[in-house]
Structure 1
Amino acid sequence: MRKIKYKKGRRLQQFNLEYTGIHKRTDSEMQLFVYDQFHITEYQQLNFSDLENSIDVQKTNWINVHGLNDLDLIKNMGRFFKVEDYMLADILNTNRRTKIEEQHDLLFFNIKSLLPAGDSETISAEQISFLIKEGVLISFQEKRSDFFTHIRDRLRAQSGIIRTKKADFLLYVLLDAIMENFYITIENEEDKIDELINLTKSNAGPIVLERIEQHRDNFNFLKRAITPLRDSLYDIKSMKDDNVFNAIEEDNFSFFARLHQKSLELLEQIESDMSSLHSASDFYFSAQNHNMNEIMKTLTVVSAIFIPLTFIVGVYGMNFEFMPELKYEYGYYTVIGGMALIVLGMLYYFKKRNWF
C-alpha cells in the first residue's frame, strides 16, 4: 500500500513545484470538454498553446490533465488561470491531506482516490485535484485511469441533467464518482474480513493474525483519507451562508450536502468494520487460549494418572532388604493389577467430572 505520510513525508518548500508521486514516467496529457445543453466539443491531447482559443466562456469547460510530470504545463496553466504557486505545489505534492481552499473567484479541492490493489491485501492511492473558476473546471490526475469514463459517456450522450448544469455540478459528479471508489474498497475489505472470520474458526495460525493487522492498517488508511474529506465537504456546505464565493450555485449546495452525508456513512461503516476486525482478533486469541487450555488439561490428566503409579514404583524401588512383598510369589502381578485399577478408577472419575 502506498501510504500517504501526511506528517513524515519529505518536506518541500511551500512554493516549490515538484511532483512527489510514484508515477514519474507518466507523460502529461490535456483533454478538454466544452459543452452546454445543446452542443459538446471534445479535444483530445490538447496543447497548451491552443487552450485559450478552445475555451468558450459562454459554456462549461472541463479540462482534465493526466500526468503531473510536465512542470512547464502546470506552471503555464497556473499563470493562465491566475492560480497561486502554493496551490500548484499542493497539486504536485501527493503527501498533502485532502483540503479545500477558496481564493477570490477560485476554489481549490484535492482528494485521495483509493481502490483495492488487484488481488493483493493492499490499497492503491491516487491524488486528484480540482480547480474551479468562472465556468471552468480543471482536474489533475496522476495517471490515466477510468474513474471518470462513465461521466464522459454521460456528457457525450447528454444523459441526465449534467449538460444543463454548470461547472460546480460537474465537480459534484466527479467527487461522487471518486467516493464510489471508497464504497468499492470498503466492500472489498468487508469480503476479506468475512474470510478472515471463517479462517479464525478453522485455523488459528499466526498468518491469520498478520492478515487481521494488515486489514486494520487498511481501514486506518481509509479513515485518514475520508476524515479530512468529510471536513472539506462540510466547508463547502458552509459556503452557502458566507455569500462570498459564488462559483457554486445556491441550488447545487444540496448535492454537496449529500456527499457530506456519504462521508459520514463511510466513516460509520469503517468503525463498524474495525469492530468486526477487533472481534476477529479477540476470537483468534480466545481460540489460542482454548487450544492451550485443552493441551494443559490433557497434560494435567496424564500427570495425575502417573503420580500414584510413580509413587508405587518409587516405594518398591527402594533398596531395603526386608520388604515382605518382595518374597510374595504373586507380588508382581498384584502390584500391576493394583496399578491398572488405579488408572481405570481415575479415568472413570475424570470422565464423570467432564475433565476430558
Structure 2
Amino acid sequence: MDIFHITDQQAMEYHEVSCGLPTEGFLWIDVTRDEIAVDVEAWRDEIAHITGVAIYDLHLTDIMNLTHPSYFDSTNDYEMVVFRKLEMSAKTPESDSVNAANTLKKIPTALSKLLTQPVTFVVMDRAVITVHVAGSKTIQTARVKLLEHRGKAGSNSRHGRLPTSPQDWMLRLLNAMVDQYLDLRQPLTHQIDRWQRALLNPSRPFKDWIVLLDARIALRKLDHLCDEQHDALQELRDHIIDTYQTKEDSRDKDLLLVRINDVIEHIGRVLNNARRLESSLESAVQIHFSAMSHRTSEIMRTLTVITALFMPLTLITGIFGMNFDAMPLLKEKTGFWLTMGFMAVIVIGLLAFFRRKRYLEDQ
C-alpha cells in the first residue's frame, strides 16, 4: 500500500504509515487487490486507523470482485465508484494462461485489447483510495507524473496544477482510463476496414466467420461496458450536484462538474464509435450476402439463356429422331444441312432477341 500526500504546492510519498489525516491537502492511498487479499480485515482496520472511516462489508466484497460492473454508490462517510478500465498489463495469471491463449487466437489483435479490469475508488473528505490489480499502467503513469510535479512546485510548470480535492484526482484518473478506449478507435477501424475488403473480395471467399462473430460479440460488450460507465458517472454527477449546495462550494462544484462532464463526453465518444463499428460490420456482412445473391443471379441468368437456346434445338432433334418411315428431308441429300442451317438461324435469332431485351448485358 502506497500513500501520497497531495497539497496545492507539492505531492510527496509517505514511506511510513501515519495516523490521521493531514491538516492541509488530502491523502491518496493506492493499493492492489493482492495486498488486500492477504488480510482483508487487517487492511480495513488500517484504513480506519488512517482515515477514521470504516468501509462497509458489502463494499469490501465489491472491491474484491474482479467481475463487478461499473457502478456508483454513496454513504454518509464516503462515495464509491467502480470503473472498468482496459487491461494494459502484459502479464497473464498462470491460472488463466490457457484460456487467455485460446481467446487471443480467436480474437484479432485490435479486439483482444478490450479485456477489462475493475478499478475501485473510495472517496472521502480528505482522502481517496484506489484499488486495482497489480501492474496497472494508468496508475503507474499517474504516480510518476504526480511525483515529478514535486520538483517543479516553485516553477512555472506546464504540466498543469495539482489536484485540489480527492474528487478532482479521481476524475483525472478516470479521464486517463477513458482515453485508453479512445486510443483503440484507429486500430479497431482498420480491422473493420480489412474485414470489409475481405468480405467484398470476389476472388477469395470469406471463411473467418467465427472470428467475425467473436468481433461482433466484443463490440457489443464494449457497448454495454460504456453504458455502465456512463450510468455510473451520471449518478456521480447527480450526487455532486446534490451535495455541493452552499455558495462557498460553488466554484469547487463547477470545477468538478466540468471534469466529470468531460469524462462523460469521452465515454459518449467511445460508445458512439463502438456502435458505428458494429453497424459497419453488420452492413459489410449484409453487402457480402447481397453480392453473393447477385453473383448467384448472374449464374442463373446465364444458365437460363443457355437453356433457352437449346430448347428449340432439342425439339428439332427430337422430332427427327421419331421412328417414321416417311418424313420430310429425311431421305434428301441436303436435308441434314438444311436442318443444321435452320437450327443456326434459330440460335442467331434468339441471341439477337436476348441482346435486344438486354438479357445478356452485365448488370
3-state DSSP of counterpart to 1:147: helix
Structure 1 residue aligned with 2:92 = none
Q: Identify if the C-alpha distance between structure 1 residues 94 and 112 changes in structure 2 by more than 3 Å, giving closer, same or farther.
A: same
Q: Identify if the C-alpha distance between structure 1 residues 209 and 314 changes in structure 2 by more than 3 Å, giving closer, same or farther.
A: same
The alignment yields a C-alpha RMSD, in angstroms, of: 3.0
3-state DSSP of counterpart to 1:32: strand
Instruction: Show CA shifts across 1:184-229 (max 9, x none).
Output: 2343322222222222332473436555433322221111111121
Determine whether 1:36 maps to 2:3: no
Which residue of the other structure, out of 83, 87, 97, is the alignment partner of 2:69?
97
Q: Which moved more, 1:100-109 or 1:203-212?
A: 203-212
3-state DSSP of counterpart to 2:66: coil
3-state DSSP of counterpart to 1:160: coil
Structure 2 residue aligned with 1:318 = 322
Structure 2 residue aligned with 1:147 = 138
**How high is the sequence identity, in percent, across the aligned residues?**
22
Q: Structure 2: which 5+ residue stretches go unaligned?
A: 49-53, 89-103, 150-157
Distance between the aligned counterparts of 2:259 and 2:327, measured in 1?
100
Determine whether 1:166 maps to 2:165: yes
Q: Structure 1: which 5+ residue stretches go unaligned?
A: 1-29
Structure 2 residue aligned with 1:17 = none
Indicate conservation of the 8 Å contact 2:126/2:166, yes or no.
yes
Instruction: Show CA shifts across 1:215-274 (max 9, x none).
Output: 322221111111121111111221233237999942323211221222233323333333
The code of the aligned residue for 1:78 comes to: R
Structure 1 residue aligned with 2:32 = 66
Instruction: Show CA shifts across 1:33-75 (max 9, x none).
Output: 33324443336xx7xxx53459756343222223447523443
TM-score, normalised relative to structure 2: 0.78
Distance between the aligned counterparts of 2:333 and 2:109, measured in 1?
76
Indicate conservation of the 8 Å contact 2:21/2:126, yes or no.
no
Indicate conservation of the 8 Å contact 1:78/1:84, yes or no.
no
Determine whether 1:227 maps to 2:227: yes
Distance between the aligned counterparts of 1:225 and 1:130, measured in 2?
18
Structure 2 residue aligned with 1:241 = 241
The code of the aligned residue for 2:181 comes to: F
Structure 1 residue aligned with 2:93 = none
Q: Identify if the C-alpha distance between structure 1 residues 57 and 137 changes in structure 2 by more than 3 Å, giving closer, same or farther.
A: farther
Structure 1 residue aligned with 2:191 = 192
Distance between the aligned counterparts of 2:241 and 2:136, measured in 1?
36
Structure 2 residue aligned with 1:23 = none
Distance between the aligned counterparts of 1:283 and 1:355, measured in 2?
24
Determine whether 1:275 maps to 2:266: no
The code of the aligned residue for 2:256 comes to: N
Indicate conservation of the 8 Å contact 2:5/2:28, yes or no.
yes
Q: Identify if the C-alpha distance between structure 1 residues 237 and 216 changes in structure 2 by more than 3 Å, giving closer, same or farther.
A: same
Q: Identify if the C-alpha distance between structure 1 residues 292 and 143 changes in structure 2 by more than 3 Å, giving closer, same or farther.
A: farther
Which residue of the other structure, out of 58, 65, 74, is the alignment partner of 1:86?
58
Deviation of 1:121 (Å):
3.9
Structure 1 residue aligned with 2:214 = 214
Instruction: Show CA shifts across 1:59-116 (max 9, x none).
Output: 4322222344752344323233311111111122222221011111211111111369
Determine whether 1:294 maps to 2:266: no
3-state DSSP of counterpart to 1:97: coil
Distance between the aligned counterparts of 1:190 and 1:74, measured in 2?
43
Distance between the aligned counterparts of 2:212 and 2:126, measured in 1?
47
Determine whether 1:353 maps to 2:360: no
Which residue of the other structure, out of 18, 41, 45, is the alignment partner of 1:75?
41
Structure with greater contact order relative to length (CA < 8 Å, sep ≥ 6): 2
3-state DSSP of counterpart to 1:153: helix
TM-score, normalised relative to structure 1: 0.79
Alignment: residue pair count? 322
Q: Identify if the C-alpha distance between structure 1 residues 346 and 103 changes in structure 2 by more than 3 Å, giving closer, same or farther.
A: same
Structure 2 residue aligned with 1:15 = none
Distance between the aligned counterparts of 1:56 and 1:86, measured in 2?
28
Q: Greater helix share, 1 or 2?
A: 2
Indicate conservation of the 8 Å contact 2:85/2:118, yes or no.
yes
The code of the aligned residue for 2:168 comes to: F
Determine whether 1:156 maps to 2:150: no
Distance between the aligned counterparts of 1:275 and 1:208, measured in 2?
18
Q: Identify if the C-alpha distance between structure 1 residues 75 and 253 changes in structure 2 by more than 3 Å, giving closer, same or farther.
A: farther
Q: Identify if the C-alpha distance between structure 1 residues 275 and 36 changes in structure 2 by more than 3 Å, giving closer, same or farther.
A: same
Distance between the aligned counterparts of 1:137 and 1:355, measured in 2?
75
Indicate conservation of the 8 Å contact 2:2/2:31, yes or no.
yes
Deviation of 1:321 (Å):
2.5
The code of the aligned residue for 2:359 comes to: W
Indicate conservation of the 8 Å contact 1:102/1:245, yes or no.
no
Indicate conservation of the 8 Å contact 2:25/2:164, yes or no.
no
Indicate conservation of the 8 Å contact 1:115/1:185, yes or no.
no
